[in-house]
Amino acid sequence: MAKSTEGRTNLKRLADISDEEIEAQMRDDPDWQEIGDFDWSKAVVVQPIPKHAISIRLDGDIIDFFKAQGRGYQTRINAVLRHYMDEVRKKAGE
């Protein structure tokens, strides 16, 4: 059974860490090496929206394409549709 770590986070220590210290720790993290510097200035906070189960018919090659990308193909299809919706709304001035 996995050991619970709930409630063990040192929130004061986290609040006291400077941005420079965070960046230094990221640069020392081997998992971060492939990512390198990333411009977060255009990042958008996305709040989860409840999903609705529907039945939709899509061309087989579209389904195959998204499934070939690995797990989460429905989430990726949703993201593509959301991006399209956002662009159409932006052009319409909404």
Show pLDDT as tens, one digit a residue, over the chain (94 residues). 556 556 788 888 888 999 999 888 888 888 877 776 778 888 888 888 899 999 999 999 999 999 999 999 999 999 999 999 999 999 998 7
pLDDT digits (tens, 9 = 90+) for 45-66: 888 889 999 999 999 999 999 9
pTM of the predicted model over 0.85: no
Which of 71, 82, 77 is closest to 59 using CA atoms? 77
Distance of alpha carbon 88 from alpha carbon 91, whole angstroms? 5
pLDDT value for 44? 87
